[in-house]
Amino acid sequence: HVAGQAVMAFYLGGWVTDEGVEIDERRYCRSCLPFGHDAQVKERFLLLCDLAGWRAEHLWHGKGSSRDGHPDEELFAVLEDRRQGWDDYDGDDADAVDAMIKMSPAATDDELAQRYTDYSAECYAILREPTVWSAIERVAANLMERGKLSAAEALEASGGDAAKLHR
């Protein structure tokens, strides 16, 4: 989960914060994008990093929902939850929905669902790239062994050079 998020951040030209990557109950990975990007680039970065966790898990063990294709009832439940001002849903997919609503508060549910589906498909395509997937496996192996990696250790485990992920 967090290995997928960390590698996605590196792939997109961002980094993992000094807090590092941790596989405790929080499944923690906080990533950042360098300053100076427009709103669309920021949204893409946030959503792909948020979505990478569950999708990496799905590709690894095949369990759970792929959260791909037509958005399921949970997506619409999160949208309704947020529009009502509630906070019943938490997690990466809810963070992705929050980012889309923030970027486009007037968007319809169908428009947000289409963007979610498009980002999900892009996320899967990136995760399936052989250099990206092997980087995720290396980061995950290091995390399983140690439980936590610093930002530098996560980058080193991914191959040491984020530019190499784009082959």
Separation CA 94–CA 10 (nearest Å): 22
Query: Are 17 and 86 in contact, with CB atoms under 8 Å apart?
Result: no
Mean pLDDT, rounded, of the chain: 82
State pLDDT tens for residues 57-97. 888 887 655 454 445 566 777 888 887 887 777 777 777 78
Tokens for 130? Answer: 């052989």
Sign of the torsion angle spanned by Cα atoms 22, 167, 95, 81? negative
State pLDDT tens for residues 86-133. 777 777 777 778 888 888 889 988 888 888 888 889 999 999 999 999
Q: Distance between alpha carbon 31 and the CA centroid of its chain, in Å?
A: 9
State the average pLDDT over residues 35-57: 82
Query: Are 21 and 135 in contact, with CB atoms under 8 Å apart?
Result: no
- Assign 32 to helix, strand or coil: strand
Query: Are 82 and 67 in contact, with CB atoms under 8 Å apart?
Result: no
Tokens for 131? Answer: 């250099």
Query: Are 112 and 118 in contact, with CB atoms under 8 Å apart?
Result: no
Answering whether pTM is above 0.85, one says: no
**Predicted local distance difference test score (pLDDT) of residue 120:** 86
Listed in sequence order, the residues at least 6 apart from 97 whose beta carbon sits closer than 8 Å to its beta carbon are 75, 78, 79, 82, 112, 116
Element (H, E) at 18: strand 15-22
**Predicted local distance difference test score (pLDDT) of residue 29:** 66
**Predicted local distance difference test score (pLDDT) of residue 123:** 93
Q: What are phi and psi of 165, to 5 degrees?
A: -70, -15
Confidence tier at 14 by pLDDT (50, 70, 90):
confident
